[in-house]
Amino acid sequence: MRVLVGPAGSSGLGNLEGVKQVANLGMQAMECEFTYGVNLSNEKAKLVGELAKKLNISLSVHAPYYINLNSNEKKKIEDSKRRILESCERGHYLNATHIVFHPGFYGKKSKEETFDIIAEEIIELVKTIKEKKWNVKLAPETTGKINVFGDLNEIMELTKKTKCSFTIDFAHILARSKGKIDYDDVFDKLKNHDHLHCHFSGIEWGEKGEKNHKLTPDKEIKELVSEIMKRKKSVTIINESPNPMKDALRTKDEFVKQGYKW
Ligand SMILES: [Zn+2]
């Protein structure tokens, strides 16, 4: 069992200082956020990647939010793929493992048709990543809104069909299930995978699932850590709350409290 914990983004410090801060706080991971665009050069990415390697921090990348592989407009699909591939290229220079993205919306299409279209695009992206020899994994994320593609079953089917990796967002799963997350069922679906890339935070939800991320309640940190500890599952947990550095640290402290030793 191997556990890596860290924040989403650098809390305004910038990637280099962010990596240093994560290491200073005794954490092991950080997700570089390209939320509104891939605004990092390959050269800078390389510097950040080298520092992270030196300090033993495992990096991942969150691709820009505006992505829809199931758009009716061809240009929007092409733009989405370009944003994902730019994230992969930077990720390669960062020595990042997972390239996280939200695959798309159902729009007016059926769930089945949406799945087929998104799967086809991801197969093509996986092929390009191989051709370019970028050493990263595409990791579509479980989403929190019920009208958005990406419940746990869809993401796991996608992984099977396209050989991509995946990201499990426990807050999103909680929101989709309106607070009644069935950990046995979730971990059963993940049992064939050794190391899980995960997101976590507090979350507000309504009839349509996710409303917004909030600070991570103590009770939810305790619960998730204990579910992971009792299954001895290897995980990377990236905190995405409004205070990700602090909440990641609280998550790390809870692992220590429950007996995990780094
Ligand atoms: Zn997430």
Distance CA 262, CA 259 (A): 10
How far apart (Å, rounded) are the C-alpha atoms in residues 172 and 60?
A: 19
The whole-number pLDDT of residue 181 equals: 92
Dump pLDDT digits (tens) for 153-164. 999 999 999 999
pLDDT category at 261 given cuts 50, 70, 90 is very high
The answer to whether residue 35 scores a pLDDT higher than 90 is: no
> How far does residue 56's CA lie from ligand 1's centre (Å)?
23
**pLDDT confidence of residue 12:** 94
* Amino acid identity, position 146: I
Q: Residue 58: what pLDDT? A: 98
Please indicate, yes or no, whether the overall pTM of this predicted structure exceeds 0.85.
Answer: yes
- Would you say 96 and 136 are in contact if contact means Cβ atoms under 8 Å apart? yes
Q: Pick from 31, 92, 32, 28: which is nearest to 56 by CA?
A: 28
Amino acid at 65: Y
Q: Which tokens in the block code for residue 52?
A: 């992270």
Read off the pLDDT of residues 187-225 as tens digits, 9 standing for 90 and up.
999 999 999 999 999 999 999 999 999 999 999 999 999
> Residue 51's CB: how many other CB atoms inside 10 A?
18
How far apart are the CA of 171 and the centre of ligand 1, in A? 8
Is the model's pLDDT at 56 over the cut of 90?
Answer: yes
d(CA 235, CA 230): 13
* Inter-residue contact 153 to 189 (CB < 8 Å): yes
How far apart are the CA of 240 and the centre of ligand 1, in A?
Answer: 6
What separation in Å is there between the alpha carbon of 245 and the centre of ligand 1? 15
CA of 22 to the centre of ligand 1 (A): 19
CA of 230 to the centre of ligand 1 (A): 23
Q: What is the pLDDT of residues 158-184, one digit of tens each?
A: 999 999 999 999 999 999 998 889 999
Q: How far apart are CA 200 and CA 118, in angstroms?
A: 25
Contact call for residues 262 and 28 (beta carbons, < 8 A): yes
**Angle (nearest 5°) at CA 250 between 249 and 253:** 85
Mind giving me the DSSP string for 76-115?
HHHHHHHHHHHHHHHHHHHT-SEEEE---B-TTS-HHHHH
* Contact (CB, 8 A) for 41 and 89: no
CB burial string 120-142: b at 16+ within 10 A, e below: ebbeebbeebeeeebebbbbbbb
Distance (angstroms) between ligand 1 centre and the Cα of 198 equals 8
CA of 74 to the centre of ligand 1 (A): 26
- Stretch 3-13: mean pLDDT: 97
Of 35-39, 137-141, 165-169, 239-243, the one with minimum mean pLDDT is 35-39
Q: Phi and psi dihedrals of 130, rounded to 5?
A: -65, -45
73-113 pLDDT, tens digit per residue, is 999 999 999 999 999 999 999 999 999 999 999 999 999 99
What is the 200 CA–ligand 1 centroid distance (Å)? Answer: 7
Q: Please identify which residue in the block is written with the tokens 């279209």.
A: 117
> Is the pLDDT at 36 greater than 90, yes or no?
no
* Ranges 55-64, 131-140, 171-180: which has the least confidence: 171-180
Question: What pLDDT score does 141 carry?
Answer: 98
Distance from residue 77's CA to the centre of ligand 1 (Å): 21
What mean pLDDT value characterizes the chain? 97
Q: What is the average pLDDT across 138-157? A: 96
Distance (angstroms) between ligand 1 centre and the Cα of 166 equals 11
Task: Give the distance (Å) from ligand 1 centre to CA of residue 141.
Answer: 7
Q: Give the Cβ contact number of residue 25 at 10 Å.
A: 15
Give the pLDDT confidence score for residue 28 in this predicted structure: 98
